[in-house]
Structure 1
Amino acid sequence: MKDKRILFVSSEVVPYLPETELSSTSFMAAKNAHSKGVQTRIFMPRFGVINERRHQLHEVIRLSGMNLVVNDVDMPLIIKVASIPKERMQVYFIDNEEYFKRKAVFTDEDDNLFSDNDERAIFFAKGVIETVKKLNWAPDIIHVHGWMASLLPLYLKEYYKEEPLFTDSKIVTSVYNNGFEGDLNSDLVNKVNFDLTDASKSKVLKTPNYSNIIKSAIENSDAIIYGSESIDEELTSFVASKEIPSLEYEAENIKETYLNFYADLLADD
């Protein structure tokens, strides 16, 4: 895997957000690949709870400045970057004042999901892809973590399917037991369909709950990794029905296991 390129896209990454199974695993997967000579890039949303001064985030002017269309509205994209101390790994942050300035991550002070989480997820997916295009950095593997990143596989396979930079990229989605209660905005499927030519590709999103958003990612991935020991049977059955490579949960030795899984996926091409 040395000199291969892996793009890690995660809703949460330590040390920028609190330590959870998802934020720790996505960081460790990137760190371990980086330590083996793999070229890595990490992308996450620039949530308002992230302390920019402490973590030394700074805007990358040459990457910022474009507008992304979300539901027929132009939304400015701001790209910030930081380096994880001691690791020499760069983390790119997708930012927009309307979507990410608030001092919260997914829910308000009453623990209700933000009504625009659907648009935040679309903006994040498109923002990652457009930034990677600007970097002209073709990844061999794209590894997706967390539900807010889970529209990325659909957008790569449909909206950006003619983009040559990603022609040979293999998409891996990690499935975690980190769902949310209730549904996202019921207009999510219509907002996604604004970008797609084939509405049948998004039909699973008609009921925009956690399971269906993850199912969309699974449908458009080349392989699945189980990131939690206990996963809802509805999702494990759905993965099995797709007959794509999957990696069982690993509590300890993800270092070699993940790298071997990536290598096998690329060797099957």
Structure 2
Amino acid sequence: MKILFASSEVVPFAKTGGLADVAGALPLALEELGEEVIVTLPRYKAITDTRFKLQRLKKDISFSLIGRNIKVYFIEKDKYFDREGLYQDKGADFKDNLERFSYYCLRSLELLKEIDFKPDIIHVHDWQASLIPVYLKTRYAQDPFFKNVRTLLTVHNIGYQGLFPKEEFPKLGLDEEVFSMEGLEYYGKINILKGGLEFSDIINTVSPTYASEIRTKEFGFGLEGVLNKRKNSLFGILNGLDYKIWNPQIDPFIAKNFSLKTLADKKKNKEDLQKTCLLPVASDIPLIGIVSRLAQQKGFDILTQAIDSICKMKLQFVILGTGDLKYHEILGGMVKIYPKVLSLHLKFDDRLAHKIYAGSDIFLMPSRYEPCGLGQMISFRYGTLPLVFKTGGLADTVNRDNGFVFEHYTKDDLIKTITKALAAYGNREKWMRLVAGAMNCNFSWEESAKKYLELYAKAKSL
């Protein structure tokens, strides 16, 4: 099968979040399964010749290789992409984002004709690539080159929709009738993601539970009506995890490599984490770790309400991440009260993240909503039991056989579940059974890729 991946960020070239990890890893897994994949990506300022060994195809297209032979084509236009940042400057969206990404979508489609790559499937990601299915069914509807080409739109986070003033609609080069309730119109504005949802052949999101949640008012961010209309074309596939990066047997960042068979060596990582975080070295005290953005979506509203009660328990707590200033201040204040319990690191630190996954006993993810979540998958592999709120991908991966789940989004239920986890930690036999259940979980990209191939086949049969 011939597949085009259209994504506005792809590891290792450009990244702001989890979308880049998926768009970098899934093509590799599909190639391993024998599929022919290419990728298109805007050429941002940070994508330099020297860093990525770029080759020139034509004056506005360069390319690089990933995997065995996957060509990543870079759409170049200095006016749009030769600037710092991908979507924003100092927290404010670029004012010309509509033009930038409509240009990227159109140029990607034209490029297919120029290199004579007729895909079976165009797999588009999030709002930045959502105009591709719109253009295919409007501007390119009569183009024989694109006959029988099918589209799959993956929604990584329904909260990001690409909203623009209706006055900008002429810039898209679409007929006026496309600005309608059945098209891109959304309460008098342009909604690019809505256009993708209306025009793509198949839609999926990054976990089965999230696919159900976004059809509700609570989680749909105003698009639940469109998603319910298209519910028979909406699916959920969990993201995979790159076990070449997240593997305690070969991880170069941790104090002592280990596996399920050499689990005793995990203690050395706990000791190393305690020393690194200036906490008392004690193997018998359960250690809770968090690696997260400090934001309400990630559960820090209820966590900060509960933090004083949690710090009074017999445990240690390491938190790594940055986010909302109010949470920085609340947690910073708690460190002064409980310096031997709580260790706070307000930064991004990849090495320390690996140490937290390897050295903690419990990994806390109290997210209010979580489309997929990778933290729990990583913690499984490191024998660190996740404690999560029952939502999205967390609900699809964590259960009583491999971790702890709370079902009411309150500080009391969070405290109660932490208390339950600490009691389990005191029962060695039960704890080791849970750790074995966690470490035996397999969320490889190969498994995800096979499910995507099923969706591609479904789209082709339409």
Q: Which TM-score band applies after superposition, normalised by the shorter structure? A: 0.7 to 0.9
Shift of 1:20: 2.6
State the alpha-carbon separation in 1 of the partners of residues 79 and 48 from structure 2. 18
State the alpha-carbon separation in 2 of the partners of residues 41 and 107 from structure 1. 27
Shift of 1:146: 2.5
In the alignment, is residue 196 of structure 1 matched against residue 177 of structure 2? no
Mapping of residues 153-192 of structure 1, within 5 Å: 153-177=133-157, 179-180=159-160, 183-184=163-164, 186-192=166-172
State the alpha-carbon separation in 1 of the partners of residues 232 and 146 from structure 2. 19
In the alignment, is residue 140 of structure 1 matched against residue 98 of structure 2? no
Shift of 1:99: 0.6
State the alpha-carbon separation in 2 of the partners of residues 151 and 123 from structure 1. 10
TM-score normalised by L of structure 1: 0.82
TM-score normalised by L of structure 2: 0.49
Aligned equivalent of 2:199: 220
- For 1:131-161, what per-residue CA distance to the aligned partner results, in whole angstroms no more than 9, with x for missing partners? 1011121111110012211111111110111
State the alpha-carbon separation in 1 of the partners of residues 49 and 95 from structure 2. 25
Structure 1 portions without partners, runs of 5+: 65-77
Q: Are the structure 2 counterparts of residues 244 and 163 from structure 1 closer, same or farther at C-alpha, using a change threshold of 3 Å?
A: farther
Shift of 1:27: 2.1
- Aligned-residue RMSD, C-alpha: 2.5
Match of 1:117 among 97, 105, 112: 97
Name which structure has the greater RCO, CA cutoff 8 Å, separation 6+: 1
State the alpha-carbon separation in 2 of the partners of residues 243 and 20 from structure 1. 27
Q: Is the 8 A contact 2:237 2:452 kept in 1?
A: no
Q: Are the structure 2 counterparts of residues 247 and 211 from structure 1 closer, same or farther at C-alpha, using a change threshold of 3 Å?
A: farther
In the alignment, is residue 107 of structure 1 matched against residue 88 of structure 2? yes
Could you tell which deviates more after superposition, 235-244 or 121-130?
Answer: 235-244
Aligned equivalent of 1:80: 62
Mapping of residues 42-81 of structure 1, within 5 Å: 42-61=39-58, 64=59, 78-81=60-63
Shift of 1:236: 4.5
Shift of 1:116: 0.7
Shift of 1:48: 1.1
State the alpha-carbon separation in 2 of the partners of residues 235 and 147 from structure 1. 13
Shift of 1:265: 2.6
Q: Is the 8 A contact 2:63 2:72 kept in 1?
A: yes
Percent identity, aligned pairs only, is: 29
State the alpha-carbon separation in 1 of the partners of residues 451 and 32 from structure 2. 14
Match of 2:9 among 1, 6, 12: 12
Task: Tell me which stretches of 4 or more aligned residues in structure 1 moved more than 6 Å.
Answer: 208-211
State the alpha-carbon separation in 1 of the partners of residues 75 and 228 from structure 2. 33
Shift of 1:54: 0.9
Structure 2 portions without partners, runs of 5+: 240-442
Q: Are the structure 2 counterparts of residues 96 and 168 from structure 1 closer, same or farther at C-alpha, using a change threshold of 3 Å?
A: same
Q: Are the structure 2 counterparts of residues 225 and 183 from structure 1 closer, same or farther at C-alpha, using a change threshold of 3 Å?
A: closer
Q: Is the 8 A contact 1:189 1:206 kept in 2?
A: no
The letter of the residue matching 2:79 is E
Q: Are the structure 2 counterparts of residues 239 and 207 from structure 1 closer, same or farther at C-alpha, using a change threshold of 3 Å?
A: closer
Q: Is the 8 A contact 1:5 1:39 kept in 2?
A: yes
Q: Are the structure 2 counterparts of residues 89 and 123 from structure 1 closer, same or farther at C-alpha, using a change threshold of 3 Å?
A: same
Q: Are the structure 2 counterparts of residues 80 and 105 from structure 1 closer, same or farther at C-alpha, using a change threshold of 3 Å?
A: same
SS of the counterpart of 1:41?
Answer: strand
